[in-house]
Amino acid sequence: MGAKLEKLPLNKKDKRGPSSKFGKFDVVLLVILLIYALAIIFPFYYLFIISITPQDIYAESPFLLWTPRITFDAYQSVFENSQIWNGLKITLILLFGGTAYQLFFTVITGYALSRNKWFGKNFVMNMIIVTMFFGGGLIPYYILIKSLGMTNTIAVMIIPGAIDTFNMLLMRNYFASLPKELEESARIDGANDIQIFAKIFLPLSLPMLATVGLFFAVGNWNSWYNGMLFNQDPSIRTLQQVLQSIIVKESSMIPSVNPGAINNESIKMAAIFFTIIPMMCFYPFLQRYFVKGIVVGAIKG
Amino acid sequence: MDGILIEKKQKKDKSLGKYIYRSRFLIMMIIPAIVYYILFCYVPMYGVLIAFTDFSSSEGIMGSVFNHWIGLKNFETIFNLQDFWRVFLNTIFIGTTKVIIAFVSAVTVALLINEIRLRFFKKAVQIIVTFPHFLSWVIVASLFILMFSDNGSINQIIRGMGGNTVGFLSEDHLFLGLIFGSDIWKEAGWGSIIYIATMAGISTDLYEAADIDGATRLQKIWHITLPGIKATAILLLIMSVGGVLSAGFEQIFNMSNDMVEEASEIIDTYIYNTTFVSHQFREGVTTALGLFKSLVGFVLVITTDRIAKACGERGII
């Protein structure tokens, strides 16, 4: 009787109950969130405006919400700068090469650790967990990389990132959540573990692969730390490193196309904007993948 | 008797062999991971032996251990250093404040977004506020430096309104404020995602029951939503405690300048600067510094985990 009662269709209301009209509380929330969102957007907007403002107008009143005259000279000098293009080239190598490499090793490790009972699994798992709590620190790492002969190479920005423990566990949890019967029936048909992985589990986990791949892609686009630490050669600087040298070091390494016509500030802004714009274009469409990753990872991990 | 034992042993060997044989493909898949973790995580861990030597790079780690072993002398050097204690306290202060701020801001943003009922608006706000997380600190630091420098937009506004130039990048306490502010700007939105997901998992029955009792929305937040995210919050807090001593190398490295170094230098930037920039210390000393940091971080995680468990919460270990 009780069970039947529970199954009766309930009165479907707004899940937050009867007070579903738009009240004062909602207005306050809306205003706070609007201010917050504007605080996030404003720096980007300001950046963009300065980057298209001619020098004379900027000199008069450097704080602008709109510019009466638009110039793309700053972008022109960014585009004509060989360092930026070279940085972009290196970053694209990392973006495609590095992401594929990291994805491959992270996913096969995640798959192996998601399977039940095999020789050595617990040992490997413990070995990995220890590294999450303890590390050797910067200097031993630096000495290792140096003795491997990886300084001043692009490889140093790719090879040491083969497996990311967080993303690996994300993949492992996802593989473990897929039905066990898939594996059993394939095994009856005579498939081995690698075949089961490649032909059954991999095609089923494309959304999760996309999530993890995107995390890696963003990491590679933003890569500068290993490059800064290990590479002195300016010809293999990433885009972020070039940006760092332009802005943080405050040097005017970019010769302007038409000296005097553009202020240094707008070139800096244009260079930053150039680096952000690809992410800005893709992010709104990809956001759900990132969100899924962190949610799955945290709830099951 | 012996025969039975031998037979048993043989059977066991055979089944172990079979077990390994059955696992062979998975073992093949895990070999790269074993190589990777040994090479890039365990070899550096073995490298901490450098901390007990007067390291000489020509002789390598083993050579230094045998020929230049000096015990705890490097640690003595560190602990006798005025600079070390300043940097250590900076690290503790910046790291702890960041953990607290990150936690409070993420939960606040999550509550705000969770309470919004306009679905489109909710989605748009989420996309906007999570975006900065995906920018590198190089970019975020550049943005903040350009906006808060003496000639940046913020100072232009202040001067426009008749005030004096404010040295956001040159006065210690203002600069620390900027460090915390930029951290919130970059990470609060992203940090809120996990709490929003947890809030979505709270049973709607609880809210309905509260409605029947005539609870206001603030009461519902206080008595239902917040207790609902308690377990997640504690888990995330324990995990972030281990990072207190890291305090954000990438951020401070990119934002800091000579004028505010006193107040903003943390262990990681100190190690970097004294090893690679000023060459003030030999590798042994800075390795000891790194080891000290790792150990304290490790102890912090274990302690927090124990405390959480003692309070009846689920720990992580």
**Shortest CA distance to B287 belongs to which of A138, A39, A3, A297?**
A138
Q: Does B239 touch chain A (CB under 8 A)?
A: no
Q: What is the rounded distance in angstroms from the CA atom of residue B21 to the CA atom of residue B28?
A: 11
| pLDDT value at A11 more than 50 | no
Handedness of CA B245, B248, B253, B256 (dihedral sign): negative
Which position has the higher pLDDT, A89 or A264?
A89
Q: Are residues B154 and B277 in the same domain?
A: yes
Q: Does B165 touch chain A (CB under 8 A)?
A: no
DSSP state of B160: H
Mean pLDDT of A183-195: 91
What pLDDT does residue A215 have? 93
Domain assignment present for residue B77? The answer is: no
Q: What is the rounded distance in angstroms from the CA atom of residue B316 to the CA atom of residue B306?
A: 10
| pLDDT value at B8 more than 90 | no
3-state class (DSSP) for residue B63: helix
Which chain B residues touch A18 with a CB distance below 8 Å? Answer: 211
What pLDDT does residue A72 have? 87
**8 Å CB contact between B198 and B229:** yes
- pLDDT tens sequence across A107-134: 999 999 999 888 889 999 999 999 988 8
Q: What is the rounded distance in angstroms from the CA atom of residue A208 to the CA atom of residue A296?
A: 10
Domain assignment present for residue B316? The answer is: no
* Nearest chain B Cα distance for residue A258, angstroms: 23
Q: Which two tokens stand for residue A111?
A: 């798959």
Amino acid in the structure at residue A180: K
Tell me the angle at which helices A165-177 and A121-133 cross, rounded to the nearest 10 degrees.
140
Q: What angle do CA B127, B131, B132 make, to 5 degrees?
A: 150
What pLDDT does residue A10 have? 43
Mean pLDDT of A205-209: 91
Mean pLDDT of A216-225: 94
DSSP state of A116: S
How would you write A209-249 as a 3-class SS string?
A: HHHHHHHHHHHHHCCCHHHHHHCCCHHHCCHHHHHHHHHCC
Domain assignment present for residue B78? The answer is: no
A56 pLDDT tier (thresholds 50, 70, 90): confident
| pLDDT value at A203 more than 90 | yes
Q: Are residues B62 and B156 in the same domain?
A: no
Mean pLDDT of A184-201: 92
- pLDDT tens sequence across A135-165: 888 999 999 999 999 999 999 999 999 999 9
Mean pLDDT over each residue of chain B, to the nearest integer: 88
Q: How many CB atoms lie within 10 A of CB B4?
A: 8
Partner residue opposite A109 with nearest CB, options B30, B129, B189: B30
Q: Are residues B58 and B103 in the same domain?
A: no
Mean pLDDT of A63-68: 72
DSSP state of A8: S
Amino acid in the structure at residue B46: Y
Domain assignment present for residue B295? The answer is: yes
Q: For an interface test with A, which of B26, B37, B216, B298 has the most A Cβ atoms less than 10 Å from its Cβ?
A: B26
Which position has the higher pLDDT, A8 or B227?
B227
Q: What is the rounded distance in angstroms from the CA atom of residue A293 to the CA atom of residue B208?
A: 31
What pLDDT does residue A67 have? 76
CA distances from B294 to A108, B243, B284, B299 (A): 29, 10, 15, 9
Mean pLDDT over each residue of chain A, to the nearest integer: 84
What pLDDT does residue B22 have? 85
* Nearest chain B Cα distance for residue A268, angstroms: 9
**Shortest CA distance to B269 belongs to which of B148, B48, B46, B94?**
B94
Domain assignment present for residue B76? The answer is: no
Which chain B residues touch A135 with a CB distance below 8 Å? Answer: 41, 44-45, 294
What pLDDT does residue B281 have? 86
CA distances from B238 to A132, A143, B103, B242 (A): 13, 31, 11, 7
Which chain B residues touch A29 with a CB distance below 8 Å? Answer: 112, 115-116
Mean pLDDT of B244-253: 91
Please provide the CATH number assigned to the domain covering A83-254+276-300.
Answer: 1.10.3720.10
Domain assignment present for residue B287? The answer is: yes
Q: Does B151 touch chain A (CB under 8 A)?
A: yes
A298 pLDDT tier (thresholds 50, 70, 90): low
Q: Are residues B162 and B199 in the same domain?
A: yes
Quote the number of domains for chain B. 2
> pTM here?
0.87
Q: Are residues B47 and B141 in the same domain?
A: no
Q: Do A118 and B275 touch (CB under 8 A)?
A: no
What pLDDT does residue A260 have? 43
3-state class (DSSP) for residue B251: helix
Domain assignment present for residue B134? The answer is: yes
Q: Does B108 touch chain A (CB under 8 A)?
A: no
Amino acid in the structure at residue B285: V
Q: Are residues B66 and B137 in the same domain?
A: no
**Shortest CA distance to A137 belongs to which of B222, B268, B169, B178?**
B268
Of the three residues B51, B71, B91, the one that is the final residue of a domain is B71
Element (DSSP H or E) covering residue A25 = helix A24-51
B residues 26-85 closer than 8 Å to A (CB): 26-30, 32-34, 36-37, 39-48, 50, 57, 60-61
Phi/psi at A262 (5° precision): -120, 140
Q: Are residues B296 and B191 in the same domain?
A: yes
Which position has the higher pLDDT, B160 or B133?
B133
Mean pLDDT of B175-179: 95
Which position has the higher pLDDT, B117 or A213?
A213
**How many helices and strands in chain A, by DSSP H and E?**
16, 0
What pLDDT does residue A12 have? 43
Q: Are residues B95 and B42 in the same domain?
A: no
Q: Are residues B11 and B114 in the same domain?
A: no
| pLDDT value at A40 more than 80 | yes
Element (DSSP H or E) covering residue A172 = helix A165-177
DSSP state of A262: B
Nearest C-alpha in A relative to B250: A225
- List Cβ neighbours of A256 (8 Å cut-off, separation of 6 or more): A73, A77, A262, A264, A267
What pLDDT does residue A20 have? 56
Nearest C-alpha in B relative to A43: B143
Q: What is the rounded distance in angstroms from the CA atom of residue B263 to the CA atom of residue B94?
A: 10
A37-43 long-range contacts, Cβ below 8 Å, gap at least 24? A37/B124, A37/B125, A37/B128, A37/B129, A39/B185, A40/B128, A40/B129, A40/B131, A40/B132, A40/B185, A40/B189, A41/B128, A43/B143, A43/B144, A43/B147
Q: What is the rounded distance in angstroms from the CA atom of residue B188 to the CA atom of residue A254?
A: 34
* Nearest chain A Cα distance for residue B5, angstroms: 24
Q: How many CB atoms lie within 10 A of CB B299?
A: 11
- pLDDT tens sequence across A232-274: 888 999 999 998 888 765 544 444 444 444 457 788 888 899 9
Mean pLDDT of A92-118: 94
Alpha helices in chain B (DSSP H): 2-22, 24-37, 43-46, 60-67, 73-79, 82-115, 119-130, 137-148, 153-160, 172-200, 204-212, 217-220, 226-228, 230-241, 249-255, 261-264, 267-272, 283-310
| pLDDT value at B101 more than 90 | yes
Q: Are residues B66 and B191 in the same domain?
A: no
Express as a percent the part of chain B with pLDDT over 90.
Answer: 51
Phi/psi at B69 (5° precision): -70, 125
Which chain A residues touch B54 with a CB distance below 8 Å? Answer: none
**Backbone angle region of A254, left / alpha / beta, with phi > 0 → left and psi within -120 to 50 → alpha:** beta
What pLDDT does residue B19 have? 86
Domain assignment present for residue B30? The answer is: yes
Report the CATH number that the domain containing residue B219 is assigned in CATH.
Answer: 1.10.3720.10
Containing domain of residue B223, as a range? 83-310
Q: Are residues B115 and B29 in the same domain?
A: no
Q: Are residues B205 and B228 in the same domain?
A: yes
Q: What is the rounded distance in angstroms from the CA atom of residue A43 to the CA atom of residue B314?
A: 41
- pLDDT tens sequence across B273-306: 999 988 888 889 999 999 999 999 889 988 988 8
CA distances from A225 to A82, A193, A237, A250, A268 (A): 22, 37, 11, 19, 21
- pLDDT tens sequence across B9-51: 555 566 888 888 888 999 999 999 999 999 999 999 999 999 9
ipTM: 0.87
